[in-house]
A and B are shown apart, each in its own frame.
Chain A
Amino acid sequence: MDTFGIVNLSRRDFLKAGAGLTLGLAAPRVFAQAGPGRAGGKAVAGGVFEANDFVRIGKDSRVTVIVKHLEMGQGTYTGLPTLVAEELDADWSQIRVEAAPADASRYNNLFWGPAQGTGGSTAMANSWEQLRTAGATARAMLVAAAAQRWGVQPNTITVSRGTVLHKDSGRKASFGQLAADAGKQLVPPDVKLKDPKNFVYIGKRVPRTDSRAKSTGTAMFTQDVKLPGLLTAVVAHPPRFGARVKSFDAAKAKAVKGVTDVVAIPQGVAVLAPDFWTAKTGRDALTVQWDETGAFKLGSPEIMAEYRKLAATLGLSARKDGDVNRALAGAAKTLEAAYEFPYLAHAAMEPMNCVVKLGAKSCEVWNGEQFQTVDQAAVAGVVGLKPEQVSLHMLYAGGSFGRRANPQSDYLLEAAAIAKAINGRAPVKLVWTREDDMRAGHYRPLNYHVLKGGLDAQGRIIAWHHRIVGQSILTGTAFEGAMVKNGIDVTSVEGASTLPYAIPNLGVELHSPKIGVPVQWWRSVGSSHTAFSTETFLDELAAAGGKDPYELRRTLLGKHLRHKGVLELAAQKAGWGKPLAQTQGAQRGRGIAVHESFNTFVAQVAEVTVRDGQLKVDRVVCAVDCGVAVNPAVIRAQMESGIVFGLTAALHGAITLKEGVVEQSNFHDYAPLRMNEMPRVEVHIVPSNAKPTGVGEPGTPVIAPAVANALFAATGKRVRTLPIRL
C-alpha cells in the first residue's frame, strides 16, 4: 500500500477529490441528487473516496467507518464497522473507526426520529440496513470505477477481502488505487445487499477494534483529555437533592497553592486548578452554606412506606385482560407477594466528567457522548449559543449503563456552567470524584410491586394482578411524548404489561408518584425490576400449583416461540430435570427465568450453593435470541456483562437515603461484584435470520430472578426484597 500524505497533494489531485461524494442515506432526495458536481460539496483531500456519511476510503486503502454510536464497552466500534466491511468486501485489517460528530441530520438514531444518541440497545438494530447499504454503495462505486478503467462490465468484477478483481483478464486493484475514480462515479440509487449465506464476517467472530488501545493504556477517555491551558474543576455539591448554595467562603480553597478560581454555579461551587489533586484539595477546603428550603429530606424507608400505602389503592391501568377480580374471587387458591427494589446507581468505572472549551461563537465538548442532540441543545442554552455552534467530540466511555445519556444533560451542564463562569478563559475539565458520582442521583427508581395470583383446582393460573409503584423516568424528558401514554410511562411497566404467559385474566396497574430524587434509565430500565417480580412470582405460583417451573413456563408461552426457544435451549444446556450434584454441608439449587427486553429474548438457568449462610452463584447457563448474531463473541461478552451487572445489583446493590442524604459513597458501601464471586457462565445463541436486536441490556434483568428461584430450590426461602439478604 502506498502511503498517503496530505502534504504531497498536487492541485490536480485536490480538485479531483473535490468531487468526492457526500450523501445522506437517511434522506433519499439527497441520495438521488448526489453525483459528480452535485455532491454535498465537501472538499476531500488527496484522492480520498468519501462514499457517504459512513464510509471513507483513502489512497492507502484504509477504510474509515464513521460510527454514530458511543462505544461504552458494548462493542459498537466493532459490530457497526462489521456491517460496512461485509457489504464492502473489505479486509478487516483495512478497517479504522472514527467517531461521528454531533449532526442529527446525518447521524440520527433511526429509531429516535430526528435525534442522535445511543440507548435502548438500538445501535445495531437501527444501523443494520443503514450501514450495510453504506458499505454496498461504496463497493458499487469502486466496482464502477474499475469497470470504467478496464473497459469491462461491472457484473464481471468481483470484490474479496479488499481486492477488486476482473477474473477473465486477471486485472485487479486495491481500494486505494480506485478511490479517486470511485469518487467520480454516480451514486447508485439502489444497491442489492448480500444474501446472508454469502456473509464473510457477519455471524463470525471479528476481533474488536479497540482491544489493543484498551490493553496498552492508549485508549482516549474523557478523563484523559489534555488541552493547552486546561483547568480541572472539582465541585462542592449540595448534600441533598434540590438544595442550593446560600453562601460560601472561598478563602481556604484559594489558599491552596495552585487553585486558580473558585466560582459559584447553579450546581454548587467549583474549584479550578491546573491539576486534579490541587482542585480537589481546594474543593475539600471550601466551606459552603446550603439553602435547603426546597431540598428533598425523606429517607428510603419513608418513601417505601408511602409506596406501600399507594399500592393499596387503584392505579392507572396498563393492561387489562378478562376480569381479574372475579377470577381471583373464584380461584381455588390465591397467592400475594410484595416486592421491594432500592434505588441503584450506575457506578460506571469512569466517574462522570466532561471537557468544555468555550469561545465567543463556539463551544467544543469532549465527552463519552451518548445523547448528542439533547446535549447540544442543553449546552447551547447554558452558554448562550445555537445548538449547531456546539460541537461534540465523542470519546470512549468508561462504562455508562445509561448514565451518560442523562435526560437533563446534568454533568455536561455543570461543565458548561463552569466554563461560562470563568468567561471561557481556559478549557475546563469537570471531574467528579467517585463520591460525587455515587451521590449525584439519576438512579434506577426505587420500586414497590404487589402481585396477586389465582389458581384453579388443577393448579392452573387463572388470574394475575400486578400493581407497580415507582417514579416515572420518561416524564419530563425528550421521550415523554412518544413513550408516556395516558399517564403510563412505558418503561415503568415494560416486562409486566408485556407478560407473555397465557393467563386469561391479567391486570397491570401503575402509580407514578413524584419524588424529589432524580431518576434515570439504568441498564435494562423497567425490566430491571419487572423481570424479577414477574419471574419469581410465576415460580411461586408453579410451586403452589405443584408444577415444574420450566414446564409451566413452556406451557404458558404458547405461541411465543422466541421466548420458548431460549427457555428450552437454556434448560437443555443446563441439564434441567437432572439431579444437581449436592455437596455435604451445603444446600444447592437450580433456578430458571426468561424475559424479553428490547426485542431480544434471554433465558438463564442459575445454580447456587448456600453454605454457612453465604450464597454463591456457581454457574449460569444463558440462552439468547437476538436475531442474526452479527458477532457471536461480542454477544457472549454482552450476556456475561449483563449477568455481572444484574448479579451485582441482586447480591449487593442499594442506594439508600437517610433524611434525604445518600448513605453510600464509594465501592466499600456500594459493592461491585468481584472476581472471587464470578460464576462460570455459558452463553448459547439461538440461530436466527431475523433482523438483529440489541444485546447491551437484555442479559441484565434475567439473572436476579434466576438466582432467587435457585435459592428457593436450595433453601425453600423466597426473596422478595433486593438486594438478596439471607
Chain B
Amino acid sequence: MILPLDVNGKPTQVEADSNTPLLWVLRDHLNLTGTKYGCGMALCGACTIHLDGAPTPSCTTPVSAAPGKRITTIEGIGASNIGQVVQAAWIALDVPQCGYCQSGQIMAAAALLAANKNPSDADIDAAMTGVVCRCGTYNAIRAAIKRAARALA
C-alpha cells in the first residue's frame, strides 16, 4: 500500500506492506541508511528514531504507525538546535569508536535533552540504557550529554 510519511520535515510517499518495520522503509525505500539495524527486537536501540519527538525503536514499529506523525532520523536531527548541539558534543569528545550504534545513541540523547535540560546521572542511565554499545563508549556518551546540556543551558 502507499503510505504518506513526514520524514525530517519533508513529505514523502512509500509503497510498502503495512507491516514492514519503519527501519527498513527508511533504509531500503528512502535510502536513509544512518539509522541502523542491530537486533530487530527493540533490544539494542541502534534503530532509534523520533516519532513526534519521542525516541522510538524503528525496527519494531510498523510503517503503518507512522503516517500523521513527524519522523526524525539521524539525517535530520541536526536541523534542531538540540540535535546540532548533541552532535557537536559527540564530535568534540570523539565519542564514536566503531560508530554503528551512535545514530541511536544520539537520537536517544537528543530526546533526553529535549525533555530534561539538566539530566542527572540517573536520568542518563534511564534514558540511555536501552541503547547498546559493544565498543564501550558509555562514559564518553555520558560526558557528551553533560557537555551538550551545559551548551544548551
Binding site for B on A (CB under 8 A): 72-75, 207-208, 210-219, 221, 223-224, 226, 232, 257, 274-277, 347-351, 396-401, 431, 433-434, 633, 637, 640-645, 648, 666-668, 672-676, 678, 680-681
Contacts and interface: CB of A to CB of B under 8 A. Distances in A.
B140 A637 contact: yes
A349 B101 contact: yes
Contacts of A73: 96-99, 135
Among all A-B residue pairs, the 5 with the closest Cβ atoms: A217-B34, A644-B136, A398-B100, A214-B99, A73-B98
A255 B46 CA distance: 31
A630 to B, nearest CB: 15
B35 interface: yes
18 contacts: A214-B99, A215-B102, A215-B106, A216-B34, A217-B33, A232-B28, A277-B24, A348-B100, A348-B134, A349-B38, A351-B38, A400-B98, A644-B138, A666-B40, A668-B43, A673-B136, A675-B124, A675-B128
Contacts of A642: 136
Contacts, number: 173
A212 B132 contact: no
B24 A226 contact: no
A666 B39 contact: yes
B136 A645 contact: yes
B17 to A, nearest CB: 8
B134 A401 contact: yes
A317 to B, nearest CB: 37
Nearest to B99: A214
Interface of B: 17, 20-21, 24, 27-29, 31-41, 43-44, 46, 73-75, 78, 87, 90-91, 94-103, 106, 124-126, 128-142
B100 A221 contact: yes
Given A645-B134, A667-B44, A680-B139, A399 B90 contact: no
A431 B33 CA distance: 14
Contacts of B102: 214-215
A397 B20 contact: no
B134 A347 contact: yes
A25 B125 CA distance: 49
B100 A207 contact: no
Contact of B94 (A223, A637, A641): A637
A277 B46 contact: no
Contact of A218 (B17, B34, B35, B131): B34
Given A277-B28, A397-B98, A349 B90 contact: no
A673 B125 CA distance: 12
A32 B60 CA distance: 60
Which one of A431, A648, A668, A678 has the greatest number of beta carbons of chain B within 10 Å? Answer: A678
A673 to B, nearest CB: 7
A212 B91 contact: yes
B43 A667 contact: yes
A217 B103 contact: yes
A678 B102 CA distance: 17
A675 B129 contact: yes
A215 B32 CA distance: 14
A232 B29 CA distance: 13
Contacts of B133: 349, 644
Given A73-B99, A215-B95, A399-B135, 13 more contacts: A217-B34, A276-B37, A348-B134, A349-B98, A350-B98, A400-B98, A431-B37, A637-B94, A667-B38, A675-B129, A675-B141, A675-B142, A680-B139
